[in-house]
Amino acid sequence: MEQKYYQQPRIPISPVLSAKSFGLNKSTIAKISDLKYTLYTTSGRSAIAIALKYFEVGSNDEVLVPTFHCTSMVDPVIWLEAKPVFYTIEINHEKTLLKASIASIKKLITPNTKALIVAHYFGQMQEISALYALCKEKKIRIIEDCAHMYFGGDTNSAIGQYSDFVIGSALKFYAMFDGGCLCSNTHKLPKNIFSTRNVKFEIKSLVNCLERSLHYKRLLLISYFLAPLLSLKDYLWNKVKKKSTATSYSPAAAEGGFGFDPNWVYKPMSITSRLIAFLTNDGRLVKLRRKNYMKWHQELKNVEGGKALFDELSIFTVPHVFPFLVDQPEIIFPILKNLGVPILRFGEFLWDDTLYKVCPLTNYLSKHCFQFPCHQELSPAELDWAITTVKSVLSEHA
Ligand SMILES: Cc1ncc(COP(=O)(O)O)c(C=O)c1O
């Protein structure tokens, strides 16, 4: 498939470090790393791989994966030589969440089914209790994919209370370069599975965070001091790269890619990312993500040419992004990208082309669902600019 390259977004697509990022205000909404046992990985896909490996998933085993996915959810299954089996998804009547089709899952279970991966799309928690019961009855391991839901939970169940494992992608919620986690209430995770820290990666994690921050004009007070140091770093880094035969100094997830490199599975989250997760003002993060999401929702409510994927934001949801269905995606996408609007398109590329035909909803979302950032580090001016730009492009082409 031909990939087009666009300029860097004018405003940050994911959180960037600022002086305001830090603080002691904790969130009142649960987060996945509050579960009893947590391992901090470099990415969510590594966490999926470790969870599957923990249950000794291997050849002849089948793992149930949703048709609406990104390929980094499937790669760990393939890495273990197991077979991904794809179940369909549906949207509830109230249009408040996307969920796994239990009927589809039931049809696909065989004696070889070892595990089920269920994703809480875009931060909205799906009804999970029926799936817990089904997996218990059929003796299937359940992995809740909370890559989009680092925080959340509803009145009946905080996230991951009853599943075998929960995986998270911390780098989608915090201003960090690398970061994932594997959490559980029931399975104690061995701490010694990680390889030793890689100094080059540790430096890269720190420097990348600072560079992104400066690029988007954050941390201005220290930028005069940092800018010459970062130029020196570029010079030295190019020299190191020329001499070295190593192919990658960081996991694909940190670079925004979907690739899977087994060499990164058993590497620990960098020290910089651990510190950022620890020092971030979670209360502010939760409040601003919800506020920014609602602003997108309110402003694009009556616009022609598209509509919000979900009608409501539950009080326990801490959104990853604002998902929006666009009527004419082929026309609107390049225009917005060329203007520098950040857009994510989860599920655009599926593991196998035949899957577009298996689930009509997946097919529709993969083409029409754009996701705009609503993270805590967008300034009010940046958010206004993005909303105004999207509105004007949509109405011009309605
Ligand atoms: C639903 C879902 N699961 C898993 C992953 C993998 O997470 P990571 O990028 O941290 O490896 C992603 C990444 O986008 C995702 O969207």
Residues lining ligand 1, CB < 6 A?
A: 43-45, 70, 72-73, 119, 145, 147-148, 169, 171, 180, 253, 346
> Which of residues 14 and 243 earns the better pLDDT score?
14
Residue nearest atom 16 of ligand 1, based on CA coordinates: 147
Average pLDDT for residues 134-163, to the nearest whole number? 88
CA 258 to centroid of ligand 1, rounded, Å:
8
Closest-CA residue, ligand 1 atom 9, reads 253
Residue-level pLDDT at 244? 67
15 inside domain: no
pLDDT at 226: 79
Whether 9 is covered by a domain: the verdict is no
Percent of the chain whose pLDDT exceeds 90: 78
| Closest approach atom of ligand 1 to CA 253 | 9
**Spacing, Cα 81 to ligand 1 middle (Å):** 20
**Considering its fold, how many domains does the chain have in total?**
3
- Computed over every residue of the chain, the mean pLDDT equals 93
End-to-end alpha carbon distance in the chain: 28
Ligand 1 atom nearest the C-alpha of 170 is 10
381 and 287 share a domain? yes
Mean per-residue pLDDT for 346-363? 96
Range of the domain at 293: 282-396
Same domain for 158 and 204, yes or no, is: no
Which of 161, 193, 225 represents a domain boundary (last residue)? Answer: 193
Of 13, 42, 73, best ligand 1 pocket probe by most atoms within 8 Å of the beta carbon: 73
pLDDT at 338: 96
User: Ligand 1 centroid vs 88 CA: distance in angstroms?
Assistant: 18
pLDDT tens figures, 88-119 = 999 998 888 999 999 999 999 999 999 999 99
Domain boundary among 162, 193, 224: 193
pLDDT digits (tens, 9 = 90+) for 232-265: 777 777 777 777 666 577 899 998 888 999 999 9
Instruction: Please state the rounded mean pLDDT for residues 225-229.
Output: 78
pLDDT-above-70 percentage for the chain: 96
CATH classification of the domain holding 96: 3.40.640.10
| pTM over the 0.85 mark | yes
Looking at per-residue pLDDT, the higher value among 243 and 396 belongs to 396
20 inside domain: no
Closest approach atom of ligand 1 to CA 251 = 11
Distance (Å) from CA 171 to ligand 1 centroid: 10
58 and 119 in a single domain? The answer is: yes
Distance 379 CA to ligand 1 centre (A): 25
Residues 32 and 142 both lie in one domain = yes
- Determine the average pLDDT of the residues in 156-172: 87
Q: 202-211, 295-304, 358-367 — which is least confidently predicted?
A: 202-211
Query: Which of 72, 75, 172, when mutated, tests ligand 1's pocket best, judged by the most ligand atoms within 8 Å of its CB?
Result: 72
Ligand 1 pocket test, pick from 169, 177, 346, 365 with the greatest ligand atom count within 8 Å of Cβ, gives 169
Q: In this predicted model, what pLDDT tens digit does every residue of 20-48 receive, in sequence order?
A: 999 988 888 889 998 999 999 999 999 99
330: number of Cβ within 10 Å: 8
Is the same domain home to 108 and 233?
no
Are both 203 and 187 inside the same structural domain? no
What's the residue count for the chain? Answer: 398
Domain boundary among the residues 165, 193, 221 is at: 193
176 plus 158 within the same structural domain? yes
Query: Are residues 325 and 388 located together in one domain of the fold?
Result: yes
Longest C-alpha distance within the chain, in Å?
62
Asked, for residue 275, whether it belongs to a domain, the answer is no
Is 279 in contact with 371 (CB distance < 8 Å)?
A: no
Alpha helix (H) residue ranges in 118-270: 129-138, 199-215, 220-243
User: Quick one: 384 and 296 in the same domain?
Assistant: yes
Burial of 170 (0-12, 13-18, 19+ CB in 10 A): buried
Q: Give the rounded distance of the alpha carbon of 341 from its chain centre.
A: 19
Higher pLDDT: 293 or 6? It is: 293
Instruction: Measure 169 CA to ligand 1 centroid, in angstroms.
Output: 6
